[in-house]
Amino acid sequence: MEVIAIAAVAKNGEIGKDNDLIWRLPADMKFFKESTFGHHIITGRKNYESIPERFRPLPGRVNVVLTRNEDYHVSGGEVVTSLESALDLAQNNGETEAFIIGGGEVYRLALESGKLTKMLITHVDASFEADTFFPKFDVSEWTTKVVAEYKADEKNAYDFTIVEYTKNQ
């Protein structure tokens, strides 16, 4: 099973502020939906709660929420207390691609676990005030491929590039 982190990251590693996205990029949201649809998505509790209630659980995906709170409940989703349990759940359900969708702490756990096989990073060409960041990683350990490049337009306020990072063997 592939374990894939998917994130939108600004110039200084920013991914969020006050438990919310800092920007609106509909083309990137479309890429996120198309990439994750039909798969297990693994998210931290705070990140899950930041998704507008009308979209929770994210439709067409098995929503797996990672939390230290063993009594936490998610209607229409699964709750686990470790990244290993989340990955086991996906594997046991026959998943081929499990997506780590945030937040910052869950991305850090995934990178440190050595389980990530791929990352799909949307690099937003701007800087923002943030309180949540994507963890630093050694780019030399990954093979990169540009998936798509977008220029700012009437719907997407910033230029951005989607890059696929594949873990070197």
Domains and their CATH numbers in the chain:
2-167 (3.40.430.10)
**Whole-number pLDDT of residue 162:** 98
> In this structure, what token pair is assigned to residue 82?
């470790």
Q: How many CA atoms lie within 13 A of 27 on its CB side?
A: 19
169 residues of the chain, pLDDT tens digit each = 999 999 999 999 999 999 988 999 999 999 999 999 999 999 999 999 999 999 999 999 999 999 999 999 999 999 999 999 999 999 999 999 999 999 999 999 999 999 999 999 999 999 999 999 999 999 999 999 999 999 999 999 999 999 999 999 8
Provide the b/e sequence for 116-126 (b: ≥16 CB within 10 Å). bebbbbbbbeb
**Whole-number pLDDT of residue 169:** 87
pTM: 0.97
**Whole-number pLDDT of residue 65:** 98
C-alpha to C-alpha distance for 55 and 61, rounded to whole angstroms: 12
CB count, 10 Å around CB of 153?
11
